[in-house]
Structure 1
Amino acid sequence: MPKDHGIGASPKRREDVRFLTGAGNYTDDINVHGQAYVYFLRSDMAHGKINNIDTAAAADMPGVVRIFTGADFEGVGGLPCGWQITDKNGDPMKEPAHPVLAQGKVRHVGDPICAVVADSLEQARDAAEAIELDIEELPAVVDMPRALQADSPLVHDDLSDNLCYDWQFGTDTETTDKAFADAAHVTTLELVNNRLVANPMEPRVAVGDYNRANDESTLYTTSQNPHVIRLLMGAFVLGIPEHKLRVVAPDVGGGFGTKIFHYAEEAFCTFASRQINRAVKWTASRSEAFMSDAHGRDHVTKIELALDADNNFTAVRTNTYANMGAYLSTFASCTPTWLHGTLMAGNYRTPAVQVNVKAVFTNTVPVDAYRGAGRPEATYSLERLIDKAARELGADPIKLRRQNFITSFPYATPVAVEYDTGDYVATMDKMEEMIDVAGFPARRAESESKGMLRGLGINCFIEACGIAPSNLVGQLGARAGLYDAATVRVNATGSISVMVGAHSHGQGHETVFPQVVAEMLGIDESMIDIVHGDTSKIPFGMGTYGSRSLAVCGSAMVRATEKIINKAKKIAGHLLEASEADIELKDGQFSVAGTDKSVAWGDVTLAAYVPHNYPLEDIEPGLEETAFYDPANFTYPAGAYACEVEVDPETGKVTIAKFVSADDFGNVINPMIVEGQVHGGIAQGIGQALLENCSYDENGQLLSASYMDYAMPRADDLPQMSNYQVDHSCQTPCTHNPLGVKGCGEAGAIGSPPTVVNAVLDALNSGGHNVAHIDMPVSPSRVWAAING
């Protein structure tokens, strides 16, 4: 019988009460008395030299408080990058300045030039239209190989070229080349991992509020990462001491990675508020989001697989161009390197793996982490390559994968990570059962009888979550620690406030975290409140990304709760006149082992704050503990996915008939929330595979800057719920965190794109169309063109 509370149960999400009744408190709901509004005048050209900005007429317009340009930020720091990459020659990456407002040049469509602060948004917008700009348009570069040519326009004039870094990792070149020279078969594939726009429900918002009385600044922002925003903005951009800077991220409507980063608008609102001694608010329009939110993916890759005569994998070699855009966003540099290259071994015993990445500056919006961040790119390249190899060899794609699976753990890969646990055979078995591989020929025949082509695509993947440990990532160039923290504060009446460094923006932390603490203490979950998203209430935290919340912050919460239990046992032992070592805690009762003597949780917590009956020299009053947790390793969720599609050969339209996922997330705290996370990720992956594409023309103009031109997945693009099955019964617990969890937030977005594309190509080839590859999005026009040669 399913549990109704604690670890393993699926209680309804408590936060949904306020979300579904319109009682949420989002950043745009926050209005400070007397606030002004800002409108950013953004560049409409991709590359240009700023000769003059004339704001005189605009400054005299009604309601205008002040107009800011790049000149106002001279002496103010630029937006920093949080990870330094060292290239294959041992040289540090190039880090051009990223000013809050453009200085000297504009470098992409959407680059902010001026900021008009006025009494109303309408007045600010009207004044912006009166600003006279003299900008000399320069040639733009969008194509990455072109950007690296000697005669290419320079995105940054102070650099010698547009190469940010040339990074190489894994097996040495001599060994890798020999593996390919000795191979019985080599499969080569060139592919594009298409650029995406995250498009969360809630656009970004920033409200800067300066209090002159105490010289304190508050920033309200739509962020996954309030403490990191405080650190980066305070220390590196504006020079505000941390004790004078508060960052609050209230309810946030989705992020998908794009709200991890520190953005110019946050720094501007905080800076401007201090300058005019008045709160300043900015809310992005959806069109602004398309040209100011960090984009995702955008890799161009050549990948090769070497196999011996028995079809064993002997080497993988990849060469990738990774687009950085016009500036380095906060974690842009590590996404195509340490978050991508370290996963190129996948689930397979491949003795040699070599990864080369050239990161390139172009006149486009900066690119950074998007759901999965590097792991989807690695998985897509590898799993498309394996499917192509199977077709060239005439091998069953499932059997080829099974033959090369890692089956013994722990397993150290050639790309410097060690998988602690896993069972890839079990997830593959479960996937085959769910998709009913044996029944597929009959379903294909039925589709063909209707004039449709049917394909089955599969994919196996592994990802690395809970990036750690800090001493390792520090050696790899991370400029921040990757631990997390939690404070458990027990009140006198027994209720609990848990302050966590992880931020919830859709993951259900307010429901899941209490399940863990309640199980440990044996009390009702309703007694536990989760506090997050406010740097003034939480000691520190590294935010939410990379499926780290439970594995890292949840582990800190467990450690803090263990400290609470240890101290509470001391108090209970004194109340029961027994040794602390003899005290047991079960179902909210402290008892003396082997006796019927007990005292309730509430009595012990009251005694902690009314210490009339215990010696202060042994036990200090109060019941509050803080713990920091720095993981010893990544966690390694893994899965096997399958998809069946029908393709209409007359139109090229692809319909997903069925999708199944078998995941190993280690221990599962709340199955309902895990299922929802996987569903959401799969929907995003299907969007990338079939629909979404952020496109620029040769002059750097963004062609897909609205929902008129950027195709988001809708309900009818996804399989019906009856044909959409999620399983997480294959569980190999993580060995190095106290909960045994691995993380589930990104799996669906990692596993689904290659699964869908493999299915489409299987359908086309079953119909006699010899198609080796179609780049994402596999749109009807691309499918139709492939069918018709």
Structure 2
Amino acid sequence: MNAPTDMKLATGIGAPVLRKEDYRFLTGSGRYTDDVRMDHQTYACFLRSPHAHARIKGIGKDAALAAPGVVAIYTGDDLAADKVGGLPCGWLITDVHGQPMKEPPHPVLAQGVARHVGDPVAMVIAESYLQAKDAAELLEVDYEVMPAVADVRDALQSGAPAVHDIAPDNRCYTWSLGDKAAVDAAFAQAAHVTKLDLINNRLVPNAIEPRAVSASYNRAEDSYTVYVANQNPHVERLLMTAFVLSLPEHKVRIIAPDVGGGFGSKIFLYAEDAALTWAARKTNRPVKWTAERSEAFMSDAHGRDHVTTAELALDKDGHFLAMRVHTAANLGAYLSTFASSVPTILYATLLAGQYKTPHIYAEVDGVFTHTVPVDAYRGAGRPEAAYVVERLVSAAAREMGIDQAEIRRRNFITNFPYQTPVALQYDVGDFNACLDGAMDLADVAGFPARREEAKQRGKLRGIGYSTYIEACGLAPSNIAGALGARAGLYEVGEIRVNPTGSVTVFTGSHSHGQGHETTFAQVVADRLGIGIDQVDIVHGDTGRVPFGMGTYGSRSLSVGGSAIMKALDKIEAKGKKIAAHLLEAADTDIEFKDGKFTVAGTDKSVPFGQVAFTAYVPHNYPLEKLEPGLNETAFYDPTNFTYPGGAHICEVEVDPDTGQVEVVAMTAVDDFGNIINPMIVAGQVHGGLAQGIGQALLENCVYDRESGQLLTGSFMDYAMPRASDVPSFKVDHRITPCTHNPLGAKGCGEAGAIGSPPAVINAVIDALAPLGVTHIDMPASPQRVWQAIRQAGGNASPAQGGNASARGLDDSSIPVTYPQA
């Protein structure tokens, strides 16, 4: 029943075990939502508004209803007649005046007014997808086009078109955090102030698997089964049944099977999910929808899109005195599920970074625009905060003539626990160790020689630093609730030991690429002294798993894994009682290690498998004291966030003739607490670094400012990072275990995307600094870089008066000029 010791060591905690789930993925045996086939299945196609803002005066259905294969056509009026509710927002923000945020209705299908390009106006259901798509083109919608606003700065101007009547100035809320008076006083005494205007560019998530839904209704049982590409099926079921469709929760089963990536964009309850569930009953037929890629660009929740003015006050020696930040955050046309929390609770609370800045004040305007809703995207507020902090710190170092590493060391937090001025309390960390490790791994000492060698080749080489921190495993529930969360933030784990000693684990966390089937199995196998092949992980099914909160915010191991550990505690405790009976000893004398229950100080023992068998075949069992079976469930609600952090160092080379930026080296040394599987962690970091480089240099979701049209609606216009855009990464880690969860884990899934964008941009600025360039917005595209160089006077040095800041709302706002041959 027990795994050999060498096998345990090879597969337990800390071992780089190959992912168990990869075999089915690599052999084409995965089962995604689009793979689901049901008897008598129909297909849905959504007609979407081609206008950013338009009144819907009427929808002619006759020609479409007569089209081949059409089963039904529904509009917002049909859903309203059935009293279908709007999509809810899961986080309430209270503004600076103590008033709740503005929450306009978010109808499943547009009712009366379309508010962004891609807003669903009608749903066509047919026998095939092509038939549904053809019929949708026959719908005749009478639109009255109205003025639109797509940029937050325009939306806040007096007289701007209002997205919703409830918010005539387009403000959802104005929210603040920190002591403004103390910050202002510190600035008044500062020896130096660094000020930056920053744009955190809008991104489209673009997971490999587009969103998909397949819904069916069982008339005999009056129940629904919904397959959906989603990161937290229990939350989806709760929101859809309680707030939208008014259904008994136990009558709806949500299954999130294999999911091909999410990056946060699949946390939310989307209109299509509710529409198909409702339509399955209306038609009494299964209904399926899978997004086309161009459709995903205008219907998936986008990420980032902040416009920020940030200031850092320092004394004459470069010690931080205070920080002042104002951000206008684009929320899009509607409040997505967690949209309100991202630029507030998940953003401003991280503005302390790794530094002991005494005073911080942040003010955030949440702004409605006629664009796709904006919500959590890998990092969710933490990348935006890290970008503000690390760009400020690097700029201050350059302005004051202080070495980039030195200014960080002077201001690092070194004593823990540490209470920041923006609500969070860091439990543990060693920021110097990560920076030391990154500088060694990046060979910072050799950089001057590499810069000189690049100069001989006509290239400008720069180095950029980013020492970031993030808050993961959102918690605890009571504090989150006080801050506006409308859900708990715990997790559940159930351990079901089978009679032969194998184990099935049911977790409320959800895996969509993170490797939970391997990592969680390693945790259980290590604890019970069995092989990981004896552990099966079940997730993503509300019909099988107790209520859990899903996966986002790098919470799976620190919260979900901790729930599993608590359930294992119960398994071990009951196992000791069974073993004590078998060994004729007191349960207080029983020790459990390496898969054996042993009487302390003796060689008397029984293996875990025998105890499991005894629990289910209780012929020799203390029935008067214990129930048969070995099955335990535990819920874990963290007492604090976890705080991963690290140091990222980037080197770039810039071609001054074309503006092309090449990332030639990227180093990341991170502190994720205790690590279960270093290979999986490295993979998570690699993926995050690629996404961060993508944001810094390539990706940019652009709307026309006047019409609200999406200008980057496909991969022809939206540049995704490719293999040639990233170098071979150097990654390592330092460990300070989390002090408040049983695994000592902090989370790793988002770190790469948080720390890398400021490191890349700081490297670009370092490369261009000899020409007088002091700032450039993301993405640092060749056009923007080339223009910054030309605006600085080509090869002009700062002493010659060259000084440029390459800005622009988007690439479409910059006059198109090209380098001369």
Shorter-chain TM band: over 0.9
Of 417, 423, 446 in structure 1, the residue corresponding to residue 424 of structure 2 is 417
Secondary structure of the 1:208 match is: strand
> Following TM superposition, by how much is the alpha carbon of 1:150 offset from its aligned partner in structure 2, in angstroms?
2.9
> Following TM superposition, by how much is the alpha carbon of 1:160 offset from its aligned partner in structure 2, in angstroms?
2.9
Equivalent-residue separation in structure 1 for 2:602 and 2:477 (angstroms): 46
Q: Which residue of 2 aligns with 1:76?
A: 84
Q: Which residue of 1 aligns with 2:766?
A: 762
**Amino acid of the residue matched to residue 89 of structure 1?**
H
Equivalent-residue separation in structure 2 for 1:714 and 1:764 (angstroms): 24
Does residue 1:612 correspond to 2:632, yes or no? no
Equivalent-residue separation in structure 2 for 1:292 and 1:620 (angstroms): 52
> Following TM superposition, by how much is the alpha carbon of 1:129 offset from its aligned partner in structure 2, in angstroms?
1.1
**Amino acid of the residue matched to residue 737 of structure 1?**
N
Q: Which residue of 2 aligns with 1:185?
A: 192
**Amino acid of the residue matched to residue 777 of structure 2?**
D
> Following TM superposition, by how much is the alpha carbon of 1:161 offset from its aligned partner in structure 2, in angstroms?
2.5
Equivalent-residue separation in structure 1 for 2:622 and 2:522 (angstroms): 33
Q: Which residue of 2 aligns with 1:727?
A: 732
> Following TM superposition, by how much is the alpha carbon of 1:149 offset from its aligned partner in structure 2, in angstroms?
2.4
Q: Name whichever of 459-468 and 124-133 sits farther off.
A: 124-133
Equivalent-residue separation in structure 1 for 2:467 and 2:167 (angstroms): 41
Does residue 1:645 correspond to 2:647, yes or no? no
Equivalent-residue separation in structure 1 for 2:480 and 2:233 (angstroms): 21
> Following TM superposition, by how much is the alpha carbon of 1:679 offset from its aligned partner in structure 2, in angstroms?
0.3
Runs of 4+ aligned residues of structure 1 deviating over 3 Å after TM superposition are none
Which sections of structure 1, spanning at least 5 residues, go unmatched? none
Does residue 1:12 correspond to 2:18, yes or no? yes
Q: Which residue of 2 aligns with 1:288?
A: 295
Q: Which residue of 1 aligns with 2:790?
A: 788
Equivalent-residue separation in structure 2 for 1:311 and 1:373 (angstroms): 30
Instruction: Give RMSD over aligned pairs.
Output: 1.0
Q: Which residue of 2 aligns with 1:744?
A: 748
Deviations 1:699-731 (A, max 9, x none): 100000000000000000001x2xx10001x11
Does residue 1:306 correspond to 2:313, yes or no? yes
Alignment of 1:10-409 (within 5 A): 10-74=16-80, 75-170=83-178, 172-409=179-416
Deviations 1:49-103 (A, max 9, x none): 0101111221122211110000111121100000000011101000000000000
> Following TM superposition, by how much is the alpha carbon of 1:16 offset from its aligned partner in structure 2, in angstroms?
0.3
* Equivalent residues, number: 782
Equivalent-residue separation in structure 1 for 2:288 and 2:495 (angstroms): 34
**TM-score if structure 2 supplies the norm length?**
0.95
> Following TM superposition, by how much is the alpha carbon of 1:122 offset from its aligned partner in structure 2, in angstroms?
1.1
Alignment of 1:655-734 (within 5 A): 655-698=662-705, 699-719=707-727, 721=728, 724-728=729-733, 730-734=734-738
Q: Which residue of 2 aligns with 1:469?
A: 476
> Following TM superposition, by how much is the alpha carbon of 1:586 offset from its aligned partner in structure 2, in angstroms?
2.0
> Following TM superposition, by how much is the alpha carbon of 1:127 offset from its aligned partner in structure 2, in angstroms?
1.0
> Following TM superposition, by how much is the alpha carbon of 1:3 offset from its aligned partner in structure 2, in angstroms?
4.7
**Amino acid of the residue matched to residue 193 of structure 2?**
V
Equivalent-residue separation in structure 2 for 1:693 and 1:431 (angstroms): 29
Does residue 1:573 correspond to 2:580, yes or no? yes
**Amino acid of the residue matched to residue 694 of structure 1?**
C
Equivalent-residue separation in structure 1 for 2:624 and 2:244 (angstroms): 47
Deviations 1:535-577 (A, max 9, x none): 0111111000000000001000000011001101111111111
**Amino acid of the residue matched to residue 533 of structure 1?**
G
> Following TM superposition, by how much is the alpha carbon of 1:397 offset from its aligned partner in structure 2, in angstroms?
1.3
Q: Which residue of 2 aligns with 1:525?
A: 532
Equivalent-residue separation in structure 2 for 1:596 and 1:338 (angstroms): 55
- Contact 2:102–2:166 under 8 Å retained in 1: no
Deviations 1:555-613 (A, max 9, x none): 00000011001101111111111111111222222221222222122211111011121
Q: Which residue of 1 aligns with 2:801?
A: none
Secondary structure of the 2:771 match is: coil
**TM-score if structure 1 supplies the norm length?**
0.98
Secondary structure of the 2:612 match is: helix
- Contact 2:578–2:622 under 8 Å retained in 1: no
Secondary structure of the 1:292 match is: coil
Q: Name whichever of 684-693 and 612-621 sits farther off.
A: 612-621
Secondary structure of the 1:82 match is: coil
Does residue 1:548 correspond to 2:555, yes or no? yes
Q: Name whichever of 578-587 and 566-575 sits farther off.
A: 578-587
**Amino acid of the residue matched to residue 703 of structure 1?**
L
**Amino acid of the residue matched to residue 457 of structure 2?**
K
Secondary structure of the 1:99 match is: coil
Equivalent-residue separation in structure 2 for 1:3 and 1:383 (angstroms): 40
Alignment of 1:404-483 (within 5 A): 404-483=411-490
**Amino acid of the residue matched to residue 735 of structure 1?**
T
> Following TM superposition, by how much is the alpha carbon of 1:43 offset from its aligned partner in structure 2, in angstroms?
0.4
Secondary structure of the 1:123 match is: helix
> Following TM superposition, by how much is the alpha carbon of 1:770 offset from its aligned partner in structure 2, in angstroms?
0.7
Q: Which residue of 1 aligns with 2:799?
A: none
> Following TM superposition, by how much is the alpha carbon of 1:752 offset from its aligned partner in structure 2, in angstroms?
0.3
> Following TM superposition, by how much is the alpha carbon of 1:141 offset from its aligned partner in structure 2, in angstroms?
0.5
Q: Which residue of 2 aligns with 1:623?
A: 630
Equivalent-residue separation in structure 2 for 1:143 and 1:692 (angstroms): 17
Which sections of structure 2, spanning at least 5 residues, go unmatched? 1-5, 792-821
Secondary structure of the 1:688 match is: helix
Q: Name whichever of 381-390 and 150-159 sits farther off.
A: 150-159
**Amino acid of the residue matched to residue 492 of structure 1?**
P
Deviations 1:610-659 (A, max 9, x none): 11212322010111000000000000001001011111001011111111
Deviations 1:239-291 (A, max 9, x none): 11111010000000000000001100000110000111110000000000000
Equivalent-residue separation in structure 2 for 1:176 and 1:73 (angstroms): 50
